[in-house]
Every structure is written in C-alpha cells, then in structure tokens.
C-alpha cells in the first residue's frame, strides 16, 4: 500500500466494465436514474469476451454523464477498498507473511487469518510463525 502498480491493470479493466454496465444497462446511476441503455447484442449472448461495437443510443452529453458516473463509482470503490485494507492492515501483513512462506494459500487460510484478527490474536505485524503455517 502507498504506491502504484501495473499489476492491477486487468482488475481495473474488469471493474470499469462492470461499473459501465451498472450505469448504462442496469440503471444504477444517481445522475441518470433508472434508465437502461442495453446493447443490441448483450455480451453474455455473444459467446466471446470481446465487447460489441454498437452505436450509442444516446447523446454525447449523456455519454459524458455515463463517464462521470463510472469514474464516481470506481473512485468510491477505491476509497472503500483502501479503507478496508487500512482497517485490517495487521491481518494483511500476517497473510503476506503466510504467502511468502507458502507462495499460495486457499480460502481457509485467509479465513483463519481474518478470524484470528477478529479474536484479537493478530496484533500489528506478525511475530514468529504466521497463522495458518504448520
């Protein structure tokens, strides 16, 4: 935390696609209201992951609002994610230590670390043997 990385490029692309669909197709925009501008051939019916190129059924002004709403949603999600990571920094550090030792973990190890944090067993940076490591 505290520095940027190119490792999240694919995540940002996916998050942007989801936020765009939330605004354009699902009517989940405060600025536009409950309006859906669905594509003619929804991606889930096309069978491939390439976005369809369909003329927009709305004005340039509406596109500006869509862009602003997508940016707003992504910024809000970034703030929430950063706040959660800061709030659970000790568990994050503990999990990082487990990953350094094992390289991969399954969901049960992540849950063990989070439960240990909830139970007060994780204090600050991990000391000695990290949780979940035999």
Higher pLDDT, 111 or 52: 111
Mean of the per-residue pLDDT values of the chain: 81
pLDDT (0 to 100) of residue 77: 96
pTM for the full predicted model: 0.69
Q: How confident is the model at residue 54 (pLDDT cuts 50, 70, 90)?
A: low
Going by the DSSP 8-state scheme, the letter that residue 50 receives in this structure is: S
**16: pLDDT strictly greater than 60:** yes
Residue 69 CA: distances (Å) to CA of 25, 63, 132 = 13, 10, 41
CB under 8 Å to 29, separation ≥6 — which residues? 22, 23, 35, 65, 66, 69
pLDDT (0 to 100) of residue 125: 37
């Amino acid at each position: 935390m505290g520095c940027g990385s190119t490792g999240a490029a694919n995540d940002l692309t996916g998050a942007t696609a989801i936020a765009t669909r939330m605004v354009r197709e699902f009517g989940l925009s405060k600025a536009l209201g409950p309006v859906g501008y669905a594509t003619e051939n929804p991606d889930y019916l096309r069978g491939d992951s390439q976005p369809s190129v369909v003329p927009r059924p709305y004005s340039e002004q509406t596109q500006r609002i869509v862009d602003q709403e997508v940016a707003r949603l992504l910024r809000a999600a970034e703030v929430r994610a950063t706040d959660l990571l800061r709030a659970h920094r000790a568990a994050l550090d503990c999990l990082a230590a487990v990953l350094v030792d094992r390289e991969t973990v399954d969901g049960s190890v992540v849950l063990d670390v989070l439960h240990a944090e909830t139970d007060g067993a994780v204090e600050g940076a991990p000391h000695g043997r990290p949780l979940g490591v035999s």
